[in-house]
Amino acid sequence: MAYPKLPEWPIVDPENPPEGYYRVAKVMNPEDDTAPWHFFAVGRHLILGQKVWVQLGDDDPGEFATAQYEFPIGAARWFVETLKRFFLEPDHPNAVPRGAITIEEEVDGEMLGVTRGAQYGSMLKGIAGYSLDNLNRFEHTSFGPDDNWCQMFKMGDPWLFEQGLLDVFKDIAERHERGEF
């Protein structure tokens, strides 16, 4: 289903964020150790950004590219709780319906999803994972063409469950609920 798109958030340099951006986490993805992901609380939003050096060949001078995802701050708690639904017995009333790979719900005025993907951890290594999706926002980056895909922050199972990324989302949710940001 197509959802109305919200205006693009300005691309930010995660290593030099504008005033008002509160860094709540900085996390390396062990499958892609090029650069850390920075998590920022900004007003009622959670912004995830990564800045990577891209050099396409020996003759290319190279440049930094920034990837960015925007969610309402409530997405942290919603993601943690929604992810649990994938592990419930199939007949449980709150379980992900049989055959479904995505759960979509509105959170703080934006349509979010959690999707199970066969290669969301690494296409080269075939690592399965999940994505946190914002169906109201287009995927965008500072490098290369924008397209009309929704924002999907993909996370491999090892990163989520063994290397602590799920704990980062839990911590962000708890700190937000305590009023820290």
Q: For 16-30, 46-60, 117-131, which range has the lowest pLDDT when averaged over its residues?
A: 117-131
Among 38-42, 51-55, 134-138, the range of highest mean pLDDT: 38-42
Query: If pLDDT is split at 50, 70 and 90, which confidence band does 147 have?
Result: low
User: At residue 142, does pLDDT exceed 80?
Assistant: no
Report the pLDDT value the prediction gives residue 166, as an integer from 0 to 100: 98
Tokens 């349509």 found at: 111
Instruction: Give the pTM.
Output: 0.91
For the chain, the average pLDDT equals 91
102 in Cβ contact with 113 (< 8 Å) = yes
Report the pLDDT value the prediction gives residue 144, as an integer from 0 to 100: 56
User: At residue 75, does pLDDT exceed 70?
Assistant: yes
Q: CATH number of the domain at 22-178, please?
A: 2.30.31
